[in-house]
Chains A and B, each alone.
Chain A
Amino acid sequence: MSLTAPAPLAARVASLRRARSRGRCRIAALIGGLLAVGITLTLSVGHSVTPPLDVVRALTGGDVPGAGFSVRELRLPRAVLATLAGMSFGLGGVVFQTLLRNPLASPDIIGISSGASAAAVVAIVLLGWTGAAVSVAAVLAGLAVALLIYLLAWRDRVSGARLILIGIGISAMLESIIAWVLSRAPAWTLQEALRWLTGSVNGATVDQALPVLLSLGLFGGLLLGLRREIGAMRLSDDTAAALGVPLLRDKALVILAAVGLIAVATAVTGPIAFVAFLSGPVAARVTGPGRAPLGTAALIGALLVLIGDFVGQHLLPARYPVGVVTGAIGAPYLLYLIVRANRQGGHA
């Protein structure tokens, strides 16, 4: 390669770049297509199966006997909430993984999801709050936990290993708060209780999806706007500073947005296990090396929640909340990641 003249090299790089961006478009289209399939499945399969044409007619306001209600009132909110929550988890997760340069540093492992979840449980069960107040409490608690972990992990500088371990410790404490609050809740709320242990989109309503949509628009837009800066932060703090990224301000903004995404989605659906953790690595695997795959990770997250929910509802002998399914997928992947990191001799 080094023997070729500079001009052909530049041309080759340019053509490689073009090929890669073409490939990326193709992959995005593929994932988008899968997402459409997932949404269609959620909309058309339920207690009874509605053909796609009837689904379209029901959605456009047509009168479809026997299916109009379930498509519009039951399945549509579910599909919307699953998609939005999945995108929030995927995007928030990949931002954390990129920022901390470690696939294991996803918000559901280092305790940020547990913080949001604990605040939501306390607000709902003990204080009797509903709606936006719960979301605000979850966001504030998520931020507080993120700050706490960061400060506790600080010794000269923040190391990934210490941050993850401290996150595991904090999250064990928060999980026990959740368990305690749930044990004080009335016994008939078991279904509700399990949502806070595993996460689920059961009983979704349009009202619930609204705060998730708002946070996705606000924080997600902010993150996509800052994608260049996030890419630079991935290299290292020094490199990012050298590339002219105003580090502290942008980092604070990015963390705020990612925590906001995770916390609002958690306040509505509960901590859907491992979606935030899985989306980033899967997205990186399908898009290949290069930029941080923010958009792809969001799509993968949505796909995971939709598929997981479909599997949990229809393909297993009993009906399970989506978190049980994603937990069953995610845990082996986490173990695989640990084993692979070990084999490479790198730091897990």
Chain B
Amino acid sequence: MSGALAPGSPQAGLRGVRHARMAWLFVVICALAAACLLSVGIGTRSVGWAEIAGGLRGHTDTLGHSVVAVRVPRTVMAVLAGAALGLAGAVMQGVTRNPLADPGILGVNAGAAMAVVLGMAWFGMARLEAFLWTAILGAGLAACFVYAVGSLGRGGATPLKLALAGAATSIAASSLTVAVMLPRNDIAGGVRSWQVGGVGGATYDAILPCLPFLAAGLMLCLASARSLNLLALGDEAAAGLGARVDRARAGAALGAVLLCGATTAICGPIGFVGLVVPHLCRLLVGVDHRWLLPFSALTGAILLLCADVLGRVVARPSEMDVGIVTAFVGAPVFIWIVRQRRVRDL
């Protein structure tokens, strides 16, 4: 970019950008591998390298092996959930053209959690597949509702209106969740697990059913990268360039909803990952969604893994749920973003 004045240099500049992006991609993948290793190795009980190696090969002879064997599915879950939330956040920010969009802030996670609780209480749901469908339905309804309320009237969906609509929806949803659960002693023990999300206690049995949903959401989101680039120019410009605005927006939003709903059904509501990660990635690779979306997924996985490891370390011998750690990491970033913007843009 520095040599933009020399003839032929745009090509060189683009190549430079691509080299930088490839370098960042390498760094991010290495960081992800390191974070996975940390997540397997660090916890309430410390284990040695030999035990990690044995546990990864599936031995469960010693306590150390078993600990590693428990941590592996947890790590897988954290990677999947983090990637899903990071990607969903990037897509939501693109679809709403709004820097504060996040599945937590917009009440999508709360909607999914409420739908699952209602299903458990009123329809006696107990199977994971049923949870998944209900959570995705709840996430979709909450997303449509918040977006509709936030974009009514003149000015469209400003960050302030969307955030307020999301906050109101979250409060209403959690109020209803408590109201439904309170008289039901059989499910009331789960109230807290639907207030804060965590990846502890994940098993392959819980992960497997959500894979198709996550895969479908991933495909939809990644496929919409090009149209998100067009949408970033504004609806009229995007339509002029041949994008089918409504269809592109609906497809991308459906992908994000699938990702959020499936994640919330397994882990409970985890906030702020989808807010922080895209902003970080924009600093690394710029605003091109074809790069931004995969990077958001990778970085989201790293963030959630690190948050999970941190939650295991800070509160020894017990653990801190990952949703709490991400709130502590995310809220300052949220405030920083708000402070960056001019009042008129809010």
> In the assembled complex, how far is the CB of residue B7 from the closest CB belonging to chain A, in whole angstroms?
43
Task: Specify which chain A residues have a CB less than 8 angstroms from the CB of B160 in the assembled complex.
Answer: 161, 164-165, 347-348
Is B324 touching A345 in the complex (CB atoms < 8 A)? Answer: no
Interface membership of A319, Cβ < 8 A: yes
CB pair A165–B100 under 8 Å, yes or no, is: yes
- Please give, as numbers and ranges, the residues of chain A lying within 8 Å of B152 by CB-CB distance: 338-339, 342-343
A324 within 8 A of B: yes
- Tell me if B171 and A169 are in contact (CB < 8 A): no
Residues of chain A within 8 A (CB-CB) of B188 are: 190
Residue of B nearest to A157 (CB): B343
Q: For the complex, give the distance between the alpha carbons of A347 and B159 in Å.
A: 12
Contact among A183, A190, A328 for B179, CB-based, below 8 A: A328
Evaluate contact between B182 and A166: CB separation under 8 angstroms: no
B285 at the interface (CB under 8 A from A): no
A180 at the interface (CB under 8 A from B): yes
The reply to whether B192 and A193 contact each other, CB–CB distance below 8 Å, is yes
Check A335 against B178 for contact (C-beta < 8 Å). no
* Contact code string A320-348 (vs B, CB < 8 Å = 1, else 0): 11011001101110110011011111011
Is the beta-carbon distance between A338 and B196 smaller than 8 angstroms? no
Query: B153–A343 contact, CB under 8 A?
Result: yes
Q: Is the CB of B169 within 8 A of A176?
A: no
The answer to the question of A234 belonging to the interface, with a C-beta cut-off of 8 Å to chain B, is no
Identify the closest chain B residue to A149 (Cβ).
Answer: B335
CB of A285 closer than 8 Å to a CB of B:
no
| Contact call B334/A169, Cβ cutoff below 8 A | yes
Q: Which of B220-228, B249-257, B292-300, B315-323 contacts A (4 or more CB under 8 A)?
A: B315-323
**B189 cross-chain contacts in A, Cβ below 8 A:** 187, 190
Which residue from A155, A197, A274, A345 sits with its C-beta under 8 Å from B154?
A345
Q: How far is the CA of A173 from the CA of B161 in the complex (A)?
A: 20
A342 contacts B154, C-beta separation under 8 Å: yes
Indicate if the CB atoms of A338 and B150 lie closer than 8 Å. Answer: yes
Residues of A within 8 A of B182 (CB): 194, 318-321, 324
Chain A residue nearest to B346 (CB atoms) is A161
What range describes how many residues of B lie at the interface? 35 or more
Q: Cα distance A170–B333 when bound, in Å? A: 11
Q: Is the interface of B mostly helix, strand, loop or mixed?
A: helix
Does A104 lie within 8 Å of B164, measured CB to CB?
A: yes
Q: Are B338 and A190 in contact (CB under 8 A)?
A: no
**Known contacts A324-B182, A342-B154, A180 near B196 by CB under 8 Å:** yes
B47 at the interface (CB under 8 A from A): no
A152 on the interface (CB 8 Å rule)? yes
* Shortest Cβ gap from A175 to chain B (Å): 8
Q: B20 at interface (Cβ–Cβ under 8 A)?
A: no
Q: Are B175 and A169 in touch, CB under 8 angstroms?
A: no
A197 to B339, Cβ gap below 8 A? no
Q: Cβ of B204 < 8 Å from any Cβ of A?
A: no
Chain A nearest Cβ from B32, distance in angstroms: 25
Which B residues from 234 to 272 make CB contacts under 8 A with A?
A: 271-272
Q: Which residue on A lies nearest to B272, using beta carbons?
A: A172
**What are the residues of chain B within 8 A of A74 when measuring CB–CB?**
none
Q: Verify if B8 is at the interface (C-beta below 8 Å from A).
A: no
A183 contacts which chain B residues (CB < 8 A)?
192, 196, 321
Report yes or no: B164 in contact with A273, Cβ–Cβ below 8 A: no
B165 at the binding interface (Cβ < 8 Å): yes
In the assembled complex, the CB of A197 is this many whole angstroms from the nearest CB of chain B, namely 6
B299-331 interface bits toward A, Cβ cutoff 8 Å, 1 = contact, 0 = none:
000000000000000000010110110011011
Closest residue of A by beta carbon distance from B334: A169
Q: Which of A104, A179, A327, A345 has a CB less than 8 Å from the CB of B155?
A: A345
Known: A324-B178, A331-B169. A155 touches B339 (CB 8 A): yes
- Judge if A98 is at the interface, Cβ distance under 8 Å: no
Q: Are the CB atoms of B167 and A168 closer together than 8 Å?
A: yes
Q: Which of B186-203 contact A (CB under 8 A)?
A: 188-189, 191-192, 195-196
* CB-based nearest B residue for A347: B160
CB-CB nearest in chain A for B162: A338
Known: A179-B196, A198-B175, A332-B172. A170 touches B335 (CB 8 A): yes
Contact B164 A164 (CB under 8 A): yes
A259 at the interface (CB under 8 A from B): no
Docked Cα-Cα span, A109 to B164, in Å, equals 9
The answer to whether A335 touches B165 (Cβ under 8 A) is yes
Q: Determine the chain A residues whose CB is within 8 A of the CB of B100 once the complex forms.
A: 165
Q: In the bound complex, how far is the Cα of B158 from the Cα of A338, in angstroms?
A: 12
Closest CB in chain A relative to B116 CB, distance in Å? 17
Nearest CB of chain B from residue A152's CB, rounded to whole Å: 6
Contact A331 B324 (CB under 8 A): no
Whether B335 pairs with A176 at a CB distance below 8 angstroms is no
Shortest Cβ distance from B339 into chain A, in angstroms? Answer: 6
Q: Kindly state whether residue B60 has any CB partner on chain A within 8 Å.
A: no
**In contact, B338 and A327 (Cβ under 8 angstroms):** no
Q: Which of chain A's residues have a CB closer than 8 A to the CB of B139?
A: none
Asked whether B192 lies within 8 Å of A172 as measured between CB atoms, the reply is no
The listed residue (A172, A324, A339, A344) touching B331 by CB distance below 8 A is: A172
With a cutoff of 8 Å between Cβ atoms, the chain B residues found around residue A168 in the complex are 105, 163-164, 167
Q: Chain B nearest CB: distance from A272 CB in Å?
A: 11
A334, B164: Cβ atoms under 8 Å?
A: yes
Q: Is the CB of B149 within 8 A of A328?
A: no
B interface residues, Cβ below 8 angstroms from A: 100, 104-105, 149-150, 152-155, 158-161, 163-165, 167-169, 171-172, 174-176, 178-179, 182-183, 188-189, 191-192, 195-196, 271-272, 318, 320-321, 323-324, 327-328, 330-331, 334-335, 338-339, 343, 346
Residues of A within 8 A of B (CB): 104, 109, 152, 155, 159, 161-162, 164-166, 168-170, 172-173, 175-177, 179-180, 182-184, 187, 190, 193-194, 197-198, 273-274, 317-321, 323-324, 327-328, 330-332, 334-335, 338-339, 341-345, 347-348
Knowing that A164-B160, A179-B321 touch, tell me 9 more A-B residue pairs with CB under 8 angstroms.
Answer: A162-B343, A169-B338, A172-B331, A175-B327, A179-B323, A193-B191, A197-B174, A318-B182, A332-B172
